[in-house]
Structure 1
């Protein structure tokens, strides 16, 4: 096996671990609530704590990799991840469980950006569309299969098995990282931007707490207040970053138009789908669809997503990103629009709607993943990966929180039009990146050939 194949395998294994821990736990919440006497907000923080850990440590990944070497950082991240999984799976209370999930997220947050940067660095630019296709296949299959696996573990054993199932895989990844990754000498790096790290960590932490509270009907005023605080702290961070020669996150990389566009697309297309899925679930439940039927609509979404990934792999090097991204945004917007005024007597319409959302969303996400790293130099891949993954984590929260709040407000003032207006907003959000896409010159969207 070539070194490139080993690095890609290791990254995809680590990416799978991250996705499993994001999507497998929800099915265990009722059992955890009964066993640990946990409230609904506490259950929500099982997932939020993991995402918070990821978000806090991602900015530190590139500095640590340069200071300690990539192999050491990968091994350290897997040790933290495995320890967090074991401790969470044996936690005696919900408070300890949430704390250990935070530790697990801290490990995962180091694993993903470093592994991703290594994989793209070893991959020639002309082959990066194929690498992206493999990444997107993992991103499709793992979230689709994880809830089923989690449900079986709960039914056959205990909710603790859901949290412990990733331990053997993490130990395999740790052994492979130690054996496969070349040591590499630590690099001379500037002093850590401690002020920027503190302001950024506090701002992002408060932002995630605010978003989680905004999704709860009785906590929206507190969430709005914390959102203001997060905005002020992040504004201070932005000012500090402009005045620092070596900020903890290299925002200057956004001078690359392809990275800037790709991050916006991921925030507003896959991110909007996460929020739309919540709104559509509530709408379909009101129309009498059961949980199994609603979950079943994700099957046409998954099939269409797989087709989109294959399409992107084949056509992106041939026709470029602009037509695929335009078709993707349009497809998701049309799919969301089909849910407006959805009659309960036509179950084929939700099937078509979810298929279009899967096709459109995956055309955008797979194209954006390749585009993001296409113009970055090798030395820029690690800090660029940190920006990309931080944006990815925020995309899971921002659009969902916005659409949930809009639906809640409209339900109190315009109850008859709450769902249609919220879905219209989601469809419009999916189209917003098109404004930037068509302003960029074709040269900034072209794929580089291998030297």
Structure 2
């Protein structure tokens, strides 16, 4: 409940909350996509191996995944305003220390700290943004979120390349510090101080088991992506499964679980998470496989990167279509069309040949159109019927799933490609791409088994 002095300017306060969330979301995306272009210079300066370079990104994602389950409890204990300010402060500190790190080991450690700070920005800010947005206007909010999710990853590598050329790789890591501090000042000035409220007891056992399980899962995925480490990766993956099973058992018995898995009984949220895992997640893996395929066929790095331009343009069209078409045609139609378009785009890559760029342009455009139809529809679907106290724990589940989707598809397809290259060297790429196309279509099965009423924005459905 807002204080009386804010009741007459709810729209203004809602816009401020939304802007703060989008700034935090931008910080997260910048730090996930800007650093790759700095790796060559960083490797020379800090004498880093390829595995160490990979852990610059992995450590940041690990920090995000570990701290996300704490979001609900910390928000109840400290208040959302304090949590956001604390997160932004830790994020800025981690970025500063990472940008001035003297060794690669120190850099990886500070990136972990930066991820721990950034991990609370997204679920807490997202829950606040959707809570202050009427259900009828959440489609427009999702369109703005997806626009940021499109523009920032597309522009970040260009900005990173310019910063490396103008200064050094350290500038790439330090560039987010001013934006983090600006967001911190705005959060302190704009957000209202909440009334004191009792916080539920923290399920420490569930938190430790969940954090350990997710950490082992991320480590396993990174190991599986490397051919020489796959045996170890399988062992770590088995350990992750055991720990996560123990976490599920502990959570089922807890009155105040650190992650409210019971929210997965909410049909739209469960379906949206599955769609995000298997459609945008599969595209990340497909992009890796396609980059290797196009490189073998003689396409330059500039040309391969240029194929993301039609992807970005088609994605922008998809966001606009979702904004106006979700209420008219429904989530089932848009999700089905999106999956089919991305699957067709992946299949078209089977026919790509050297010096014939129009086919990969068309393929990437179809993947951008289909993938963004699914991701933007899924984002709206996930939160359209959630209200009040359910928003923050649902946001934690959603963002944990989002982080896993970024590495799960890439690790799986890289593993399949590596294994097939050893036994079917001439068919490795086609079979891997066909698998990716099939993975994209998997959510069609549960989507069409659900009654249409369960996907309606006016229905809060449980099974």
Distance 1:186 1:267, change over 3 A: farther
Match of 2:354, SS?
Answer: coil
1:226 is aligned to 2:236: yes
1:142 is aligned to 2:152: yes
Q: Hey, what does 1:415 align to over in structure 2?
A: 425
1:7 is aligned to 2:17: yes
Q: For residues 80-138 of structure 1, give each alpha carbon's deviation from its aligned partner in whole angstroms, at most 9, with x where no partner exists.
A: 00000000000010011000000000011011100000000000000000000000000
Alignment partner of 1:95 out of 95, 105, 128: 105
Alignment partner of 2:279 out of 269, 277, 289: 269
Displacement of 1:188 in angstroms is 1.5
Q: Is the 8 A contact 2:209 2:244 kept in 1?
A: yes
Distance 1:104 1:318, change over 3 A: same
Alignment partner of 1:392 out of 388, 393, 402: 402
Q: Which moved more, 1:241-250 or 1:144-153?
A: 241-250
Q: Hey, what does 1:83 align to over in structure 2?
A: 93
Q: Is the 8 A contact 2:34 2:159 kept in 1?
A: yes
The 5 Å alignment of 1:234-245 reads: 234-245=244-255
Q: Hey, what does 2:449 align to over in structure 1?
A: 439
Q: Hey, what does 1:278 align to over in structure 2?
A: 288
Q: For residues 261-285 of structure 1, give each alpha carbon's deviation from its aligned partner in whole angstroms, at most 9, with x where no partner exists.
A: 0000000000000000000000001
What TM-score, normalized by structure 2, do the two folds share? 0.96
1:357 is aligned to 2:367: yes
Q: For residues 313-371 of structure 1, give each alpha carbon's deviation from its aligned partner in whole angstroms, at most 9, with x where no partner exists.
A: 01111221111000000000000000113222422110000000000000000000000
1:65 is aligned to 2:75: yes
Q: Is the 8 A contact 2:76 2:200 kept in 1?
A: no
Q: Report the Cα distance in structure 1 between the residues aligned to 2:372 and 2:292, rounded to whole angstroms.
A: 23
Match of 1:386, SS?
Answer: helix
Displacement of 1:187 in angstroms is 2.3
Q: For residues 130-189 of structure 1, give each alpha carbon's deviation from its aligned partner in whole angstroms, at most 9, with x where no partner exists.
A: 000000000000000000000000001111000000011001100010011111024222
Q: Report the Cα distance in structure 2 between the residues aligned to 1:345 and 1:146, rounded to whole angstroms.
A: 28
Displacement of 1:256 in angstroms is 0.8
1:310 is aligned to 2:310: no
Q: Report the Cα distance in structure 2 between the residues aligned to 1:172 and 1:140, rounded to whole angstroms.
A: 22
Q: Hey, what does 1:132 align to over in structure 2?
A: 142
Q: Report the Cα distance in structure 2 between the residues aligned to 1:209 and 1:446, rounded to whole angstroms.
A: 38
Match of 1:2, SS?
Answer: helix
Alignment partner of 2:222 out of 207, 212, 225: 212
Q: For residues 17-48 of structure 1, give each alpha carbon's deviation from its aligned partner in whole angstroms, at most 9, with x where no partner exists.
A: 00000000000001110111111100000000
Q: Report the Cα distance in structure 2 between the residues aligned to 1:26 and 1:442, rounded to whole angstroms.
A: 43
Q: Hey, what does 2:54 align to over in structure 1?
A: 44
Q: Hey, what does 1:193 align to over in structure 2?
A: 203
Q: Is the 8 A contact 2:72 2:392 kept in 1?
A: yes
Alignment partner of 1:120 out of 100, 123, 130: 130
Q: Hey, what does 1:174 align to over in structure 2?
A: 184
Q: Which moved more, 1:156-165 or 1:187-196?
A: 187-196
Q: Is the 8 A contact 1:271 1:397 kept in 2?
A: yes
Q: Is the 8 A contact 1:332 1:430 kept in 2?
A: yes
Q: Hey, what does 1:346 align to over in structure 2?
A: 356
Q: Report the Cα distance in structure 1 between the residues aligned to 2:16 and 2:357, rounded to whole angstroms.
A: 45
Q: In structure 1, list runs of 5 or more residues that go unmatched.
A: none
Q: Is the 8 A contact 1:341 1:420 kept in 2?
A: no
Q: Is the 8 A contact 1:126 1:448 kept in 2?
A: no
Q: Which moved more, 1:135-144 or 1:219-228?
A: 219-228
Q: Report the Cα distance in structure 2 between the residues aligned to 1:261 and 1:268, rounded to whole angstroms.
A: 11
Q: Report the Cα distance in structure 2 between the residues aligned to 1:255 and 1:412, rounded to whole angstroms.
A: 42
Q: Report the Cα distance in structure 1 between the residues aligned to 2:437 and 2:354, rounded to whole angstroms.
A: 21
Q: Report the Cα distance in structure 2 between the residues aligned to 1:335 and 1:417, rounded to whole angstroms.
A: 19
Alignment partner of 2:346 out of 332, 336, 351: 336
Match of 1:339, SS?
Answer: helix
Q: In structure 2, list runs of 5 or more residues that go unmatched.
A: 1-10
Q: Hey, what does 2:257 align to over in structure 1?
A: 247
